[in-house]
Amino acid sequence: MAVCFDCMGLKGLAGLYFKHFEEEQGHGMKMLKYIMEAGGEARVPAIPEPTAEYVSAQEILEATLNHEKAVTKMIDDLAALAEQEGDRATRSFLNWYIDEQVEEEALFGQLLQWAQMAGPAQIFVLDGRVAQMAD
């Protein structure tokens, strides 16, 4: 998605997405380390190749928000399982991710709303605003 934004000339959104990618890697490592510290079996499955063809910035933002909502559901499901199993440590650990997902959905929901309001003709205005937010 970051590469697609870059190819569209939307450097502010591309920069945000590249930064977000690095943050997500950190989130994954945090979870992997917790699993190992807790004595679990840590396996990292193959990740499906992402979609690389988007026709608009709005389409990318919609896909991002939908993805974040799916991640929220997976984390909520893990928290429910931890509660069901009486695993308080894991349930406590997952609180950080639950809070993080509220922020993620809010951010990408706001960006999508701004893109919808701006429309394709004014997407560069949004891109400039995102670039300013990053500074």
Over 90: is that where the pLDDT of 48 sits? no
Please count the CA atoms within 13 angstroms of the CA of 128 that sit on its side-chain side: 5
> Residue 51's pLDDT is what?
84
> For residue 12, what pLDDT band results from cuts at 50, 70 and 90?
very high
Domain coordinates in residue numbering, the chain? 2-42+54-134
> Is the C-alpha dihedral spanning 111, 30, 2, 125 positive or negative?
positive
Over 90: is that where the pLDDT of 29 sits? yes
The per-residue pLDDT for range 56-97, each reduced to its tens digit, is 999 999 999 999 999 999 999 999 999 999 999 999 999 999
- Rounded average pLDDT over 122-127: 93
Domain spanning 2-42+54-134: CATH 1.20.1260.10: yes
- Rounded average pLDDT over 111-135: 91
Burial class of residue 32, CB neighbours in 10 A (0-12, 13-18, 19+): middle
Instruction: Supply the DSSP symbol for 121.
Output: G
